[in-house]
Amino acid sequence: MISIIIFAVLLLLGFGFFAMNVNKIRTNILMGRDVDRSDNKGERLKVMSLIALGQKKMFKKPIPAILHLCLYVAFVVTQIELLEIIADGLTGEHRVFREALGGFYTFIISFIEVLSVLAFVATFIFLARRNLLKIPRFNMKEMKGWPKIDGNMILVMELILVTFIFMMNGADEVLYSQGLSHAENLGDQSFGFAISQFVGPALFGGMSESSLIIVERIGWWGHILMVFTFLNYLPFSKHFHIILAFPNTYFSNLKPQGQFNNMEAVMKEVKLMMDPDADPYAVPEEGDEDAVVQRFGAKDVEDLTWKNLLDSYTCTECGRCTSSCPANQTGKLLSPRKIMMDTRDRLEEKGEGLRKNGKDYDDGKSLLNDYITEEELWACTSCNACVESCPVNIDPLSIIMDMRRYLVMEESKVPNELAGMISNIENNGAPWQFSPEDRLNWREEK
């Protein structure tokens, strides 16, 4: 009875704390400007199924894709066992699904065990890949410190989790074969699970009943505790991608990647300038939200769209964007992954500040300058390689562009040569100093 109460309290705390942190993140994301992604539901579902569920873009690099697939499928299928653990925990029963499901139960648990072994192996390889092989995308500047610890921590947790599963099933198997398990005895000698029917006797075969029970309970409680730890670690980690990958791909940009948005605030002003009949002093229509004076472009996180902010929490820090970036490949400061990590870190900082000190709080910092420098922004060629390579459809380029817009339109901070190019366009309709009358000279030239 006591254990049921402890379990119920843990369950509530586990999910409650998780829900609270998810809600914080939700509030943070909603700080962003609006962008309409409510159209084309069918197309969006398709994109989500292919990219997140189907891992389509992961398979551009087959080896990590297959390793990751082991973890991914193992995780999803293991949720069935988790449901049983919760049911057992709340009822005080043991393996409640077994009798009802019969042979199917044996199949499911066996499947989970096989996947867990695959996941265990994949996790080891991931750890080796991160720490032994010098893969450049895991060893760049922005990956020093917490991001590196985070990456390893997740993998270690995964190993512990799997170890607990086999302690639980293995010891229970030995107990069951001796007729000592709490599970309902169905008159057979073994659970018949694919891995633990061998691993159990091999590891725990010689143990006494009380030791076996202890091992089994450590496995059971350890497993569920790890699950809660893991769950509550998610919102503080790049590992949150396991949830956000789905909404993030659903809300993908469906337009051609080359298309940049036309800024609405500018459209209004340009229309006024071009239209001789327009009344520049016209009162904005009632309920017109854009009447609130907004900055041109983005200086801080609240100037970005909620999709940019969702992107930042979804980022897996895999670095595929950065390793495909021409600026980064040629030694420039720019790294699209760093743009995403900076956006998330600043958003966390700003959100926390606002929650603590009220909604008018200003910490005097901003994403621009305190996190991202002008030098990074101006190195981008707008080539879309980062967008194309992101396995979860993140768009670092639109953040870069919005920050350039702020620099240019709000602060007139533009590299000299570009200022010249822009004034050429304004004055003679070409980025160079040629006269518009000479545009057709090529027709006569030999």
Partner 1 sequence: MSDLMKVPTMAEMTANGEVPEILFWVGCSGSFDDRAKKITKAIVKILNKCEVKFAVLGAEESCTGDPAKRAGNEFVFQMQAMQNIEVLNGYEIKKIVTGCPHCFNTMKNEYPELGGNYDVVHHTQLIQSLIEEGRLQVAGGDTFKGKKITFHDPCYLGRGNNVYEAPREMLSKLDAELVEMRNCKAKGLCCGAGGAQMFKEAEKGDKEVNVKRTEEAMEVKPNIIATGCPFCNTMMTDGVKNKDQENNIQVIDVAELIATAADL
* Residues in contact with ligand HEM by the rule CB under 6 A: 52, 55, 58, 64, 68, 71-72, 75-76, 126, 130, 151, 154-155, 158, 241-242, 245, 316, 318, 391-392
DSSP letters of 138-187? GSSGGGSSHHHHHHHHHHHHHHHHHHHHHHHHHHHHHHHHTT--SSPP-S
Here the tokens at position 328 are: 């980064």
Cα 68 from Cα 74, distance rounded (Å)? 10
Cα 167 from Cα 156, distance rounded (Å)? 17
**Per-residue exposure over 213-248, b if at least 16 CB sit within 10 Å of its own CB, e if not:** bebbeebbbbbbebbbebebbbbebbbbbbebbbeb
Q: How far is the CB of 53 from ligand SF4 (least distance, A)?
A: 16
Length of the chain: 446
Q: How far is the CB of 46 from ligand SF4 (least distance, A)?
A: 20
Which residues lie below 8 Å from residue 260, measured CB to CB, with a gap of 6+? 398, 401
- Going from the C-alpha of 127 to that of each of 144, 147, 148, 256, 444, the distances in angstroms are 16, 14, 11, 37, 66
256 binds, among ligand HEM, ligand SF4, partner 1, none (CB under 5 to 8 A by kind): partner 1
CB nearer to ligand SF4: pick between 88 and 311: 311
Which residues lie below 8 Å from residue 400, measured CB to CB, with a gap of 6+? 336, 339, 377, 380, 382
Name the segment binding ligand SF4 (CB under 6 A); options: 83-91, 284-292, 296-304, 322-330: 322-330
CB nearer to ligand HEM: pick between 65 and 414: 65
CB nearer to partner 1: pick between 125 and 263: 263
Cα 225 from Cα 235, distance rounded (Å)? 17
Report the SS3 class of residue 432.
coil
What x-and-dash track marks residues 290-319 binding ligand SF4 by CB under 6 A?
Answer: -------------------------xxxxx
Q: Which of residues 251-290 bind ligand SF4 (CB under 6 A)?
A: none
Which residues lie below 8 Å from residue 402, measured CB to CB, with a gap of 6+? 297, 298, 303, 304, 308
Name the segment binding ligand SF4 (CB under 6 A); options: 128-136, 152-160, 228-236, 323-331: 323-331
CB nearer to ligand SF4: pick between 70 and 321: 321
Q: How far is the CB of 269 from ligand HEM (least distance, A)?
A: 40
Dihedral angle sign, alpha carbons of residues 391, 393, 399, 404: positive
* φ, ψ dihedrals at 33, nearest 5°: -70, 160
Cα 392 from Cα 318, distance rounded (Å)? 10
321 binds, among partner 1, ligand HEM, ligand SF4, none (CB under 5 to 8 A by kind): ligand SF4
Cα 388 from Cα 13, distance rounded (Å)? 40
If one asks whether residue 245 binds ligand SF4 (CB under 6 A), the answer comes out as: no
Q: What is the DSSP letter of 53?
A: I
Please give the residue ranges that form the binding site for partner 1 (CB under 8 A): 255-260, 262-263, 266-267, 269-270, 273-274, 296-297, 324, 326-327, 329-334, 375, 378-385, 387-389, 401, 404-409, 414-415, 417-418, 420-422, 425-426, 429-432, 434, 436-445
Q: Which of residues 370-429 bind ligand SF4 (CB under 6 A)?
A: 380-386, 389-390, 392, 394, 396-397, 400
Q: How far is the CB of 116 from ligand SF4 (least distance, A)?
A: 26
CB nearer to partner 1: pick between 23 and 329: 329
Q: How far is the CB of 329 from partner 1 (least distance, A)?
A: 6
Q: How far is the CB of 338 from ligand HEM (least distance, A)?
A: 16
154 binds, among partner 1, ligand SF4, ligand HEM, none (CB under 5 to 8 A by kind): ligand HEM
375 binds, among ligand SF4, ligand HEM, partner 1, none (CB under 5 to 8 A by kind): partner 1
CB nearer to partner 1: pick between 90 and 266: 266
337 binds, among ligand SF4, ligand HEM, partner 1, none (CB under 5 to 8 A by kind): ligand SF4
Here the tokens at position 370 are: 């305190």
Q: How far is the CB of 380 from partner 1 (least distance, A)?
A: 5
Q: Yes or no: say if 171 and 216 are a contact pair by the CB < 8 Å rule.
A: yes
Q: How far is the CB of 245 from ligand SF4 (least distance, A)?
A: 9
Q: How far is the CB of 319 from ligand HEM (least distance, A)?
A: 7
Q: How many CB atoms lie within 10 A of CB 406?
A: 22
Q: How far is the CB of 43 from ligand HEM (least distance, A)?
A: 18
Q: Yes or no: say if 147 and 317 are a contact pair by the CB < 8 Å rule.
A: yes
- Chain residues binding ligand SF4 by CB under 6 A are 315-321, 324-327, 334, 336-337, 340, 380-386, 389-390, 392, 394, 396-397, 400
